[in-house]
Structure 1
Amino acid sequence: MIKKHTIYKKDKWNMLTVEVNGKQLILREISDQWGEECHTFLSRPEMMHWVSERFKKETFDGSEDEYEAMLEAFRQV
């Protein structure tokens, strides 16, 4: 069974989801600028390392509350 988590969804062109398929974590990042990017991780620590590299706090486009909410959504996966 695949369980899908929505990390954020601004509209149908800007969203980030994580699907849990057994031990595999499939992260889909969809943006109106870059299209769809898909990343597959074999562990949560591997995914969280990618998150920390991809979403650096100092370059995050949004408020600190939005940043913390997004990180918490990743932690809940």
Structure 2
Amino acid sequence: MFKKHTIYKRDKYNMLTVEVQGKTLIVREISDQWGEECHTFVSRPEMIHWAENRFRAEAFDGSDEEREQILTALKSI
């Protein structure tokens, strides 16, 4: 059985989830603009590196608090 974590969910079209499948982490990013993107990582540091690039402060469309909550939630997995 896989463990699924919801990082954020604004509505049914804008969300980010992480599935933990043993050592593999599968990040599913669903947006109303881009559809579903799936990223597979073999380590937590690799996932955090992706997240820090994906949610860069200068490019993030939201508040600093929201960005920090997303990164904190990903780091807690």
- TM bin, normalised by shorter chain, reads over 0.9
- Paired positions, count: 77
Q: Which stretch shifts more, 59-68 or 40-49?
A: 59-68
1:47 match: 47
Alignment gaps of 5+ in structure 1: none
**1:4-60 CA distances to partner (integer Å, 9 max, x unpaired)?**
011110000000000000000000000111110001000000001111111101111
Alpha-carbon distance between aligned partners in 2 of 1:61 and 1:25, rounded to the nearest angstrom:
25
Give the TM-score taking structure 1 as reference length: 0.95
- Aligned residue for 1:58, secondary structure, equals coil
Identity value in percent? 69
Alpha-carbon distance between aligned partners in 2 of 1:70 and 1:30, rounded to the nearest angstrom:
14
Alignment gaps of 5+ in structure 2: none
- Aligned residue for 2:65, secondary structure, equals helix
Could you list the structure 1 runs, at least 4 aligned residues long, displaced by more than 2 angstroms after superposition: none
Paired residue type of 1:27: V
1:35 match: 35
When the two chains are superposed, the root-mean-square deviation of aligned CA atoms in Å is 0.7
Give the TM-score taking structure 2 as reference length: 0.95
1:4 match: 4
